Amino acid sequence: MPKRVLLANRGEIALRVQRTCRELGIETVAVYSEPDRNALHVRQADAAVAIGPGPATESYLVIDNIIEAAKRTGADAVHPGYGFLSENAAFAEACDANGITFIGPPASAMQAMGDKVAARRLMADAGVPIIPGANDVDPSDLSAAHAEADRIGFPLMVKAAGGGGGRGIRVVETPDGLDGAMQLSSSEAAAAFGNATVFLERYVSPARHIEVQVMADAHGNARAFGERECSVQRRHQKLLEEAPSVAVDPELRARLCDAATAAALSCGYRNAGTVEFLLDDRTGEFFFLEMNARLQVEHPITELVYGVDLVALQLAVADGEELEPGPAGPPEPNGWSIECRINAEDPHANFAPSFGLVEHVDMPQGPGVRFDSMLYAGLDVPVFYDSLLGKLIVWAEDRPAAIARMRRALQDLVVAGIDTNSAFHLALLDNPDFVAGNVDTGWLERDFTMPPPADDGRDVTALIAAALAAEMGGRADGAAPAAGPSAADLWARVARADAMNTRVQHTGERGWRSGIGS
Amino acid sequence: MAKRHRFVVGEDERSVEVDQTPDGVTVTLDEGDAVDIDVLEVQVPGTVSFFVGGRQQRAYVARRAGGYEVTIGERRFVVETASGGRRRGAVGGAEDVPGQITAPLAGVVVEIRVSVGDDLEAGTTVLVLEAMKMQNEVQIPHDGTITAIHAEAGQNVDKGVLLVEYDTDSEE
């Protein structure tokens, strides 16, 4: 086991990895950008190193700064988390070159999975089902392209071989549209990736996004930990995940897991990875989509239904330990787990991002509830990073109980000062399609409408609360002073608050504890 | 002694009368029936907790320019003090003598929405001040006619600087 692990990340995932490290007696080193100085992942680490200003390109993405921080603090291993440098082959190589263990796959496996056409060939050779299509279509030979397209069938997708991030991808409904789409994707790909090669794939829709957690060691063993259902997405962003999937029975699970381990072994994969598949409910067919060479955001739901600490396994495998073989037969999940991503955004204003000072937090607790979160009262959510505040995860005996438990946990979560998408999750859990499990990757954007806030009388509660606050701190006319309260005002307020046996805190527009706080 | 608080929530003007007596606290909503409430002691700063008709209510209250922000469960309510500013608005002139509007905070004047001679109703936005990437609408607190504008778009202003002068329309 490593002695000291540097977490090359921030937010909830840095905290998540730190927790397992501390349980195993491993010291932790945090890195942080200037606006993250006060973040929990910095507070809870044994050591912390500043790596630059707010923008990630000047801090969390600067390989040299992170390697330097690891050397300076004597860290013998680096955990990349997800996002940032987690799938950056140059970073993995830089760790190796400096004698630091990279807790993740080898650079060669990342590169093998990065080239889409190469990955398709690798998977086909390994017997992993790939989406029917045609590799390496010459964009200038349109008659050959039409012959391939007729074989694949419409609708189909034109994709750039070197592509990524949704660029160079077009859906073609009929043969008439093929020529134009080929030209556009090809020129876009040439400009963006320096490679005009395109390939064709059947457009599998509607489909579910089903992914399989795998873990591979340095001794040629790979193990799959069942599937996660991640079909609830908006603009390709997952919002709610569950394990297992309503669409997967033991027979299908066995086939998915076999395909996932074959995929991992085909590219010399090591450590934790996720193999993503598209599942066509109507035919029961599934197809390889891509492999994510990192620990996923939604890994905790797998941990809860398979009783495993994936971070502990990552550390062991990175240290050269051999994976214990799983039980014979397909993995059997125990109970049901759901994760809701709690994002700083306003679901009633088209999910506009929210940031600023978190003034108060009530944490959900109780049986079967896990909240992996960066939240605390006093956190100033910076504008530079993604909007994920935390992941609310529940476990229960079955899906209906897990849904009821998640609803309860969401109702317990209170965040004052910034907006969160809790109301969205509550509406989702009440949606009949979701409750029935009838979702595909397009369902949320196609069929779900965010309902307006319920007329449940809480506006009256808010009015009374505001009036009580005004009683305790307002001026004679009840108007709020534009400037912060004076010291004399404060003492008067404390006296009045004591007289009323309650306390109200007054914050300035963005001030922290500018009012009474005892 | 009873005190009436006037608020604006969304488009609606609401009033809450709070009467504190040695026996307890009574609230009257929008001039309806008086309701006894039991205000509880809460040690968490900013948290107000009370019973109405035996039902426990819990809210987190934060003071904002122009009113309050109240968080209850997953919902946030912006409760403006009536005749105060709008959401994310700053009440120009809350501290000002009638006839003058000063900058409620330091910032950059990004837009001036009125001209000398304009006849305005109370609450009309006269200019927009940007600070910390937030646009703050500065409003006229009384009905009045603009007589002078002392700022221009793009100008940096300190808090308290005189921005606009106006004649109040009548004795209020």
Domain positions in chain B are: 3-81, 89-168
Q: Is the pLDDT score of A500 beyond 80?
A: no
**A476: pLDDT strictly greater than 60:** no
- CA-CA distance, B18 to B5, in Å (whole number)? 8
Residue A290: strand, helix, or coil: strand
pLDDT, tens only, A184-198:
888 888 887 777 888
Q: Do B70 and A502 touch (CB under 8 A)?
A: no
Q: Are residues A410 and A470 in the same domain?
A: no
State whether residue A510 sits within 8 Å of chain B by CB.
yes
Q: What is the CATH number of the domain that holds A53?
A: 3.40.50.20
Both tokens of A42, joined, read 């910095």
Give the residues across from B127 on adjacent strands.
Answer: B112, B138
Q: Are residues A65 and A172 in the same domain?
A: no
Q: What is the pLDDT of residue A379?
A: 96
Confidence of residue A503 (pLDDT cuts 50, 70, 90): very low
What is the pLDDT at residue B156? 82
Q: What is the pLDDT of residue A317?
A: 97
What pLDDT, on the 0 to 100 scale, is given for residue A486? 34
Q: What is the pLDDT of residues A210-241, one digit of tens each?
A: 999 999 999 999 999 999 999 999 988 999 99
What's the average model confidence in pLDDT over B142-160? 87
What element of type H or E holds A112?
Answer: helix A107-114
Beta-ladder partners of A81: none
Residue with tokens 């305790």: A472
Number of domains in chain A: 4
Q: A123 in a domain, yes or no?
A: no
CA distance linking residue A1 with residue A12, whole number of Å: 23
Q: Which residues of B touch A465 (CB under 8 A)?
A: 48, 50, 57, 59, 61, 68, 70, 72
Task: Identify all chain A residues contacting B69, using CB atoms and an 8 Å cutoff.
Answer: 416
- Please list, in sequence order, all residues whose beta carbon lies within 8 angstroms of the beta carbon of residue A281, skipping any fewer than 6 positions away: A206, A207, A208, A247, A440
Which residue among A159, A179, A202 closes a domain?
A: A202
Q: Which of A269, A239, A285 is nearest to A132 (CA)?
A: A285
Q: B134-139 and B162-168 as β-strands: parallel, antiparallel, unpaired?
A: unpaired
Is domain B3-81 given the CATH code 3.30.700.30 in the classification? yes
Residues of B in contact with A423 (CB under 8 A): 74-75
Torsion of CA A254, A255, A256, A262, to 10 degrees: 110
Domain co-membership, A394 together with A488: no
In a 13 Å sphere around the CA of B122, the CA atoms on its Cβ side amount to 16
Q: Are residues A307 and A391 in the same domain?
A: yes
pLDDT in tens, B137-149: 888 888 899 999 9
Do A86 and A235 share a domain, yes or no?
A: no
Closest CA to B30 of B46, B49, B50, B9: B9
Residue A191 domain-assigned (yes or no): yes
Nearest to A466 among B46, B73, B79 (CB): B79
Decide if A414 and B74 are in contact by the 8 Å CB cutoff: yes
Q: Is residue A459 part of a domain?
A: no
Residue A457 domain-assigned? no
Among all residues of chain A, which has the CA nearest to that of B37?
A464
CB A157 within 8 A of CB A172: yes
Residues A363, A308 within the same domain: yes
Does A482 lie in the same domain as A443?
A: no
Which tokens is A494 given? 């404390």
What is the mean predicted confidence (pLDDT) over A121-127?
94
Residue A471 at interface with chain B, using a CB cutoff of 8 Å = yes
A150 by Cβ neighbours in 10 Å (0-12 / 13-18 / 19+) ranks as exposed
Which residues of A does the annotation mark as catalytic?
294
Task: List the single residue in B62, B76, B77 with the smallest CB-CB distance to A507.
Answer: B62
Output the six-digit token pair for A311: 């971070």
Same domain, A15 and A41: yes
Distance CA B71, CA B62 (A): 8
pLDDT in tens, B42-51: 666 678 888 8
Q: Are residues A328 and A244 in the same domain?
A: yes
pLDDT above 70 for A508: no
Is A308 in the same domain as A354? yes
Q: Which residues of B touch A415 (CB under 8 A)?
A: 71
Q: Does residue A117 fall inside a structural domain?
A: no
Per CATH, the number for B89-168 is 2.40.50.100
pTM: 0.80
Per the domain annotation, does A454 fall within a domain? no
Is residue A114 a part of any domain in this protein?
A: no
Smallest Cβ–Cβ distance between A516 and the set B45, B59, B132 belongs to B45
Burial class (CB in 10 A: 0-12, 13-18, 19+), A54: middle
What CATH number is given to the structural domain containing A136? 3.30.1490.20
Q: What is the pLDDT of residue A15?
A: 98
Is the domain of A212 the same as that of A172? no
**Closest by Cα among A200, A1, A208 to A103:** A1
| Residue A80, domain extent | 4-103
Residue A122 lies in a domain: no
Mean pLDDT, chain A, whole residue set: 89
Q: Which CATH number covers residue A312?
A: 3.30.470.20
A470 and A392 part of one domain: no
Q: Does A227 touch chain B (CB under 8 A)?
A: no
Q: Does A420 touch chain B (CB under 8 A)?
A: yes
Identify the closest residue of chain A to B23 by CA–CA distance.
A500
